[in-house]
Amino acid sequence: MIRLGVIGTNWITERFLEAVNEVEDLALTAVYSRTAEKASEFAGKYEVHRTFTNLEEMASSDEIDAVYIASPNSHHCRQAVLFLKNKKHVLCEKPMASNAAEVKEMIEAAQQNGVLLMEAMKSTIMPNFRSVQENLGKIGEVRRFTASFCQYSSRYDAYKQGTVLNAFNPEFSSGSLMDIGIYVIYPLVALFGKPNKVQASGTMLDSGVDGQGSILLSYDDMEAVVTFSKITQSDQPTEIQGELGSMLIQKISGPQAVDIQYRDGTVENISVKQDMHSMYYEAKEFVELIQQGKLESDINTFSNSLTTIEIMDEARRQIGVVFPADRL
């Protein structure tokens, strides 16, 4: 049994723990929060008795084998490196860190200490994304990838009323690109690798983060256009256009139905059974990698994580988004 500690007592942690209940050989044994009251309250929901308010104490504890990090983006690197240096396996929420320099530091710490580090990008590990990869050849030479993830943030209403919450605060390395845009960039990288050129534009908010944006990415024989927003809403599917047909993916952030529309008008549904919790697959991958003694996922690879954050760094540079973490 792999004993898991969690950092972060927010809704994403609660959703992840719903998935943990479905995964064999993984059990929650410890909770961290900055306050003892919040740690105890959260732990009580899951009948967990070990809580921490000190990260160093938690990292050196012999009561956990691994940690799931779901704190604000700006904290990911410091917290992950601390646990990696204490020989704890780390599953870190996306985006892995504030910038490429931090991601490189995390990867180096994992390699030096012989433990697993994996970015918790759920979509690329879900069965329907695997179906996309396996059937991509059916549409022939790929010429265009268009993806959109625009989800109006409930915190934007508070922002418009003068309250800047974490989601729109550059201190936490947040904003539309970091929190939403990664969902359209990471799958692109997983499918097609590193682009030759990145051209980005976006709408800056007064707080210093982007509210929405778009990126044109150029490859040798194809181009990609991705859009993302926390201030508008859209249900537009992702489309991969090939010379023989197009592949349509519903909800790129957690691939649901996937169809191929061929040039002759025929449609092939390539969706596969996917009835587990959406975060089950990443949790299961994490456990299996630990059990097999592997130090890197074959799916959410170090290369994919690093290329993705490098694209985001360049996009931020062009849009004008600068985080305090960039100055360190």
Yes or no: say if 7 and 79 are a contact pair by the CB < 8 Å rule: yes
| Pairing mode, strands 238-242 and 245-249 | antiparallel
Closest Cα to residue 282, out of 303, 297, 302? 297
The H or E element spanning position 242 is: strand 238-242
Yes or no: say if 150 and 229 are a contact pair by the CB < 8 Å rule: yes
**How many Cα neighbours within 13 Å face the side chain of 144?**
12
Provide the β-strand partners of residue 27.
Answer: 3
Amino acid (1-letter code) at residue 306: L
183 catalytic? Reply is yes
236: tokens are 């537009």
d(CA 14, CA 18): 6
Give the CA radius of gyration of the chain. 20
Closest Cα to residue 139, out of 256, 226, 258? 258
Q: Which of 68, 183, 280, 281 is catalytic?
A: 183
32 catalytic? Reply is no
Q: Which of 94, 122, 230, 284 is catalytic?
A: 94
Query: Active-site positions?
Result: 94, 183
